Amino acid sequence: MDFAIQKLLGGFNNLDSPQSSEHLDRTLACLSVRVPLDFNFSHANAHRLVRKQIERHMRLCTVATSGFELLLTTTGSEPLLAEAAVQIMDQSKNSPIHHLSFHIDNNCVNYGERGELVAALLVMQARDALASTSNSRWVSVGDFMKTLLGASARIDSALPSFARDGEEQKSLANTFEHSRIWFNHVLKVRNTDLINVRYLWRFITHGAMVLCANNQRGVDLVVPICYSGNVLSRRTMTAILIQPP
Amino acid sequence: MLTRGAIHFDTLRLDSSVVEHLACIQGAWIQSPVWPFFWLQHNPCVSKLDKSHWQVQECHCQLALHFHHCMTETEWLQFEKMNEYCTSFFTMANNGAWSLYSELCCCLSKFVGLPIFTLFLSTAGKFHLFSPPRLSDYSSRVVLGANWVLPPITETGFDQFTLDAKEGKITLDRVVEVDWICSLGRPLYVFLAHAFW
């Protein structure tokens, strides 16, 4: 893990003090491997920022023309780097949203038009809070819902809006009693066909939740759930679907 | 199947002091999970190969030779920073004389038939100069085309070392383990992870 942390932070072991110039680059690196950040290249500093992320902080360059007039970048699905980012941010005692707030002023980061990024970070924050108090990387759905929604969740008494015969009185907590979640980063998909039960188990093997393609109907975020048992297959999977208002 | 202790470094035709050092390191490696490494430095001013110019250096390295041990009980030799040697290898091989490059190839040919692979790693942009052209090779079998020289691998994708995940068999408890996580993404962490666990 130390190796992954150093690769992510350009050879360093921590985020440095918030006053340093390196701090912003390192926090951006940690955020980038966890959520798919886009950059706003209309800003003067964006090119310098992105090139530094590629050079020192494991960001991937997919297209570059001579002189870097066109520079397309992305982050891959690398759960080890995401796990390193979790550890770094845990040591800093601040949440990903807190670190992201430092980048609002420089206007280089594209936050999305409908709050998907913030929603993803809130979901991530809930998972991180649970995982930090647990010995395992996976978390139970019940605990996750309580942490995400707070006291208003009332999952012990929440009943389904639609249910199969005989399950009308089965509460949310009972329904997902044996369900578990595992993710530590967000994977942006660009093909709407991937939001399908056939592929959900594959996202769990990568430790990823899913940010849907633009214009995906009815959903923006998908949190895959292993509904029951331990085996991963399309028959044992379900998902939490989230669409920010 | 070859085990860690079965490599005989004298087959590398290296200087005796080097062989002695390697054997010592190899012995230590068996006891320690940390990878052993040693440095072989060659004086680039010497135009003709002389084994006495190979010296074990603890630092100031130009050529690092790592011995790895992977999950399949296969050994491989890994030469790093080959770009620094690329030019001298190329120049000397072009002279038609017995060169460092040809000597290295001769040493490595001793491992043919054993489960040992050799990797040459470089971060140089001019990867096409990584090895001399076929017509400059010391071996007539390579020159005449009987033996094939592998072209360099210049790009690799993600998840190259992903462990097998079959639907209906893979478990949640398995995919949260660290060695599973290390196998995903860039092929960068899996060997380090395996070496320390």
Q: How confident is the model at residue A209 (pLDDT cuts 50, 70, 90)?
A: very high
DSSP string, A136-179: SS-EEHHHHHHHHHGGG--TTT---SS--TT-TT--HHHHTTT-
User: Could you tell me if A76 and A125 lie in one domain?
Assistant: no
Q: Does A55 touch chain B (CB under 8 A)?
A: no
Angle between helices A79-92 and A116-132 (to 10 degrees): 80
Amino acid code (one letter) for A33: V
| Domain count along chain A | 2
Lowest mean pLDDT among A21-30, A123-132, B16-25, B178-187: B16-25
| Residue A149 CB contacts under 8 Å (≥ 6 apart), including other chains | none
Instruction: Answer whether residue A159 shows pLDDT above 80.
Output: yes
Q: Which of B168, B181, B186 sits opposite A207 (nearest CB)?
A: B181
CB pairs under 8 A between A and B: 68
Q: What is the pLDDT of residue B81?
A: 63
Among A110, A136, A157, give the residue marking a domain's end.
A110
- Whether A42 and A98 map to the same domain: the answer is yes
Residues A19 and A133 in one domain: no
Give the residue, B53 or A75, on which the prediction is more confident.
Answer: A75
Confidence of residue A136 (pLDDT cuts 50, 70, 90): confident
A208 pLDDT above the threshold of 90:
yes
- Determine, for residues B170 and A231 on separate chains, whether the beta-carbon distance falls below 8 Å: yes
Residue of A nearest to B168 (CA): A233
For residue range A141-154, what is the model confidence (pLDDT) as tens digits?
A: 888 888 888 877 78
Q: Report ipTM (2 d.p.).
A: 0.86
- Per cent of chain A over pLDDT 70 is 96
CA distance B131 to A133: 53
- Which of A149-158, B97-106, B160-169 shows the lowest per-residue confidence on average (mean pLDDT)? B97-106
Question: Do A132 and A236 fall into the same domain?
Answer: yes
Work out the number of other CB atoms within 10 angstroms of the CB of residue B129: 16
Q: How do residues A198-207 score in pLDDT, each as one tens digit?
A: 999 999 999 9
Choose among A12, A116, A83, A194: nearest CA to B185: A83
Tell me how far apart the alpha carbons of residues A94 and A102 are, in angstroms, rounded to a whole number.
Answer: 12
* Domain definitions of chain B by residue range: 4-155, 156-197
Q: Which residues pair with B55 in a beta bridge?
A: B41
**For A8-23, what is the mean pLDDT?**
77
How far is residue B59 from each of residues A165, A172, B64, B132, measured CA to CA in Å?
74, 62, 10, 28
**Closest CB to A234 among B165, B167, B172:** B167
Distance, in Å, from the CA atom of A138 to the CA atom of A143, rounded to the nearest integer, reads: 11
Highest mean pLDDT among A96-100, A110-114, B104-108: A96-100
Task: Clarify whether residues A95 and A171 are in a common domain.
Answer: no
Do the Cβ atoms of B175 and A80 come within 8 Å?
A: no
Phi-psi region of B186 (alpha: psi -120 to 50; beta: other; left: phi over 0): beta
Q: Are residues A55 and A148 in the same domain?
A: no
Question: Domain boundary at A50, A81, A110, which?
Answer: A110
Give me the domain span that covers residue A48.
2-110
Yes or no, beta carbons of B184 and A231 under 8 Å apart: no
Quote the CA–CA distance of A124 and A144 in Å, as a whole number.
10
In the numeric block, which tokens belong to residue A121? 């970070």
Alpha-carbon distance of A59 to A52, in angstroms, equals 9
* Predicted confidence (pLDDT) at residue B4 exceeds the cutoff of 60: no
In angstroms, the CA B195 to CA A70 distance is 40
Average of per-residue pLDDT across A106-133 = 82
Residues A155 and A237 in one domain: yes
Reported confidence tier of residue B194, pLDDT bands at 50, 70, 90: low
**Nearest CA-CA partner of A185 in A61, A32, A53, A62:** A32
Shared-domain flag, residues A42 and A19: yes
Q: What percent of chain A has pLDDT over 90?
A: 15
Residues of A in contact with B168 (CB under 8 A): 231-233, 235
Which residues of B fall within a CB distance of 8 Å from A233? 167-168
A32-71: per-residue pLDDT in tens?
899 888 887 777 777 888 888 888 888 888 888 887 778 8
Residues A129 and A105 grouped into a single domain: no
Same structural domain, A14 and A103: yes
pLDDT tens by residue, B15-35: 444 444 444 444 433 332 222
Are both A105 and A210 inside the same structural domain? no
Mean pLDDT of B191-195: 55
For residues A205 and A175, state if they share a domain: yes
